[in-house]
Chains A and B, each alone.
Chain A
Amino acid sequence: TQLLEQSPQFLSIQEGENLTVYCNSSSVFSSLQWYRQEPGEGPVLLVTVVTGGEVKKLKRLTFQFGDARKDSSLHITAAQPGDTGLYLCAGGRGRSQGNLIFGKGTKLSVKP
């Protein structure tokens, strides 16, 4: 069974601090998606990474896919209260196997 472990599970920080969220697995994934979810809403896609070692930047967010495509990280610089939410990583298993494997998420709270 493929699993994705996210850490930390909860993170409460002050505005302006930096943070990193990790997503780890013993399995190889063909792609890795990061989503952010607000309470009562569906996940909103932040980024998709597909190549081992790939780094993508989205304003203050930096995403990295591990060289072996088994892990990923999300780094937020100078966090703002608007970054508050549940961050989910999801592994893709290739086009012939459609579903994503999700981690449990990291609940981030950024206090002003």
Chain B
Amino acid sequence: DTGVSQNPRHKITKRGQNVTFRCDPISEHNRLYWYRQTLGQGPEFLTYFQNEAQLEKSRLLSDRFSAERPKGSFSTLEIQRTEQGDSAMYLCASSNSGGLTDTQYFGPGTRLTVL
């Protein structure tokens, strides 16, 4: 399977704990995006990388959130001191900025539940 993969698929944690999610993009894609989706809403943009560089961060990305893409391949999203309001589906997408349309392809998501 050469699509976007995310791990873990589900994470249950207690309030105040730290969690880390991983995303592996489609191999030839240089852009990687993180989105968050809550029930009844469309995905909301968090941040994106072009190669190793983090080019844009949403104001939704509080200082408890940090994302990295150290070698321009996989990325991690860490949430420190989780709160119940962080419960959501975290989606990763990738694209090729050199392609005709820069279309984004999504992974299956990581469902986070903060108790």
Contacts and interface: CB of A to CB of B under 8 A. Distances in A.
Nearest to B103: A48
Interface in B31-84: 31, 33, 35, 40-45, 48, 50, 55-56, 58
28 contacts: A33-B103, A41-B109, A42-B93, A42-B109, A43-B43, A43-B106, A45-B103, A45-B105, A45-B106, A88-B42, A90-B42, A90-B104, A92-B101, A95-B97, A95-B102, A98-B56, A98-B95, A99-B35, A99-B45, A99-B48, A100-B33, A102-B35, A102-B42, A102-B43, A102-B44, A104-B41, A104-B42, A105-B41
Contact of A42 (B40, B50, B56, B106): B106
Interface string A70-112: 0000000000000000001010100101111111110000000
B107 A100 contact: no
A98 B55 contact: yes
A42 B42 contact: no
B31 A35 contact: no
B111 interface: yes
Nearest to B109: A42
Nearest to B42: A102
Contacts of A50: 100-101
A28 interface: no
Contacts of B103: 31, 33, 45, 48
